[in-house]
Structure 1
């Protein structure tokens, strides 16, 4: 009996799939280094190579958020490329995610997707858009509305721009200043991204420490 070869998976675009089909693909043919999303019976698998531009902007934004939260005395946990799951409903793997504030428990120390129905959604999720800007602003924005996050940032690395959305009652609207990190203006993040084009990370971090220290 001749076996049937598995069909190649469609990547970097949304395709219709039930939750059962999605999970079966994750367990069988989706590479472990893929980034996977599911929402409203649609799935997306991203396999685009990530170069220095994506990685550097990811690091700059991560460092900035951690410094700001630390100096402001905010309780926070950062998670990178972590899957957040509402079983049967949503699956998301943002570039960076943060639990912020007093109302969360430390996530479990294992390699299973974080159960959002048990542990809650991260208050802040961030996508670094080097090749996926339209999707990050569109369908993923709807995904994070339904997942239950409080704020969603899209970092347009080509334009050195941060587009931030506050989410409430499963609706989102653009904001110029973070609500999750009170007082943090998007222009500060954009200045850091611009400086990263000609300055090293240590120089940018010293500037951020001085900038945030003046505000404490």
Structure 2
């Protein structure tokens, strides 16, 4: 629990879903006092994550970035990555995934700004990734429903404890588990998991060389 500033005169419960009106959530999300928190909002409930992020989370997040970006580069797929970026649909929902990717020939990339990306003005990212160190149940549950409602096309969750990568394709507001990406055709989750496993004993250069060889 962290203390509130003068903007919101109450104690703030973090790292769990709490019932709150949109206006209260926005007051917190836009408050500089909480700039290190990660903010989520879904159907009248907010979640503000303040737990420290360890090396397992950081390493797996780095590997996921390499896998997706290198695959797109080798296969000549247009892509743009954003890390820890907020996406906001006013009055409805907000998320801040570990990484997000716009993928494909048609996307219009939002301009540079320090404000959350407005999903009423821009398309949602094609692929979002959450690295689950202490939040696995929530990432597979409520956040999955949030990403369905916000209109992402694909959602991946990495379990840092087991090295599992779980992927869902999202269509018409519903999601289903997949073993091969639909937005990055030909990229299998088994290869993603092998990259995560290799990273536990190999340096980034070795992983990059192996990925390039695998993708070529």
Number of residues of Structure 1 aligned to a counterpart in Structure 2: 211
Per the alignment, in what secondary structure is the counterpart of residue 179 of structure 1? coil
Instruction: Output one character per residue of 1:160-179: Cα deviation in whole Å (capped at 9) or x when no partner.
Output: 01000000000000000000
Cα displacement (A) at 1:30:
5.3
Q: CA deviation at 1:5?
A: 8.9
Does 2:107 align with 1:104? yes
Structure 1 runs (4+) deviating above 3 angstroms are 3-6, 27-30
Contact 2:8 2:28 in 1 (8 A): no
Question: Are 1:14 and 1:42, in contact at CA under 8 Å, matched by a contact in 2?
Answer: yes
User: Which digits, 9 at most, give the CA deviation of each residue in 1:94-149, with x for residues without a partner?
Assistant: 00000000121121111111011211000000000011000000000000000000
**Alpha-carbon distance in structure 1 between the residues aligned to 2:178 and 2:170:** 10
**CA–CA distance in structure 1, aligned partners of residues 160 and 29 of structure 2:** 29
- Picking from 202, 207, 210, the partner of 2:210 is 207
CA distance in 2, matches of 1:101, 1:204: 25
CA distance, structure 2, for counterparts of residue 18 and residue 203 of structure 1: 48
Cα deviations across residues 48-75 of structure 1 (Å, max 9, x unaligned)? Answer: 1001110000000101100000011111
Equivalent positions of 1:155-166 (< 5 A) are 155-166=158-169
Look up the match of 2:146.
143
Q: Does 1:180 align with 2:183?
A: yes
SS of equivalent residue, structure 1 residue 117: coil
Structure 1 regions of 5+ residues with no counterpart? Answer: none
Deviation per CA, 1:1-43, whole angstroms, max 9, x where unpaired?
A: xx99932211100000111111122234851010000010000
Decide whether the 8 Å contact of 1:84 with 1:92 is kept in 2. yes
Matches within 5 A, 1:118-129: 118-129=121-132
Matched, 1:40 2:29: no
Q: CA RMSD in A?
A: 1.5
Question: What residue is the counterpart of 1:198 in the other structure?
Answer: 201
Say yes or no: does 1:49 pair with 2:77. Answer: no
Task: Say if 1:9 and 1:29, in contact at 8 Å, map to a contact too.
Answer: no
Structure 2 Cα separation of the partners of residues 96 and 8 of structure 1? 29
